[in-house]
Structure 1
Amino acid sequence: MELGAFSISLGVKDLAKSKTFYEALGFSQFAGNEDHKYLIMKNGETLVGLFEGMFEGPMLTFNPGWDQSAGELPSFEDVRDIKAKLKAAGLDIQNEGGGDSGPGSFMVIDPDGYPVLIDQHR
């Protein structure tokens, strides 16, 4: 199963402070918008999403159809196909979004309570 680009998404209390912290670690702003309370920070191929007030704690995020630079992959496994495989494996699917094609998302929770978001943008 190909899940696409990987990042850790963090629910942060103060976006500006978090941005400054990750910049000190060598990350730079890659995407996002401070006015919309989120930033995607990048260091090499490593991505960290900073989201103020959107959720608590850490969340693993995968983006089918994207490489680590948010470039579109020529072919990829659709989010609905991934969801069907995970349902067949007995996982509980939560927060489903999207239609029959194009963008879509869902979440599963790992055995230790960490959310895993599968979020397809195209």
Structure 2
Amino acid sequence: MDIRSHSLSLAVKDIKASVSFYEKLGFKAVNGAGSISDKWLIMQNGSTKIGLFQDMFEENIITFNPQDARSIYKDLKNKDIPFLMESESIQEKEGPCHFCIADPDGNQILFDQF
């Protein structure tokens, strides 16, 4: 199971304040990955990425960006891992898709293929 890159998806209260804070830590907005007006934005510092999301979810989420989320989905389904959410597109043969599971402590883990 190759889960590739990962990032933290942060549930923020004020996207403008959060962007300003993370810019001070050296993060820069990833071109074409959200906007302040859309209330979500992906930022990067070196190989580290964080997603800032206002009014989209209540808790922080670990996000993995595999090349083949569908094979991971099938593998986890066969292992009887419960799913919190799965996109309708997970059943398609290609293209973007995502699903979410939780670890034993309730920490959400999003697999997002784009």
TM-score surpassing 0.5? Answer: yes
Could you tell me how far apart the structure 2 residues matched to 1:61 and 1:18 are? Answer: 18
Measured on the aligned residues, the alpha-carbon RMSD in Å equals 1.2
Which stretches in structure 2 are left out of the alignment for 5+ residues?
none
Query: In structure 2, which of residues 88, 96, 109 is the aligned counterpart of residue 116 of structure 1?
Result: 109
| Aligned-partner residue type, residue 55 of structure 1 | F
Aligned equivalent of 1:72: none
Give the partner amino acid of 1:91: I
Give the ranges of 4+ consecutive aligned residues of structure 1 lying more than 3 Å apart after TM superposition: none
Which residue of 74, 97, 112 maps to 1:104? 97
Aligned partner of residue 84 in structure 1, secondary structure = helix
One-letter amino acid matched to 2:65: N
Match of 1:55 among 54, 57, 64: 57
In structure 2, what is the Cα distance between the partners aligned to 1:34 and 1:117? Answer: 22
- Residue 69 of structure 2 corresponds to 79
Q: Does 1:89 align with 2:79?
A: yes
> C-alpha displacement at 1:94, in angstroms?
2.5
How does the TM-score come out when normalised to structure 1?
0.83
Gaps of 5+ in 1: 66-77
Q: How many correspondences in the alignment?
A: 109
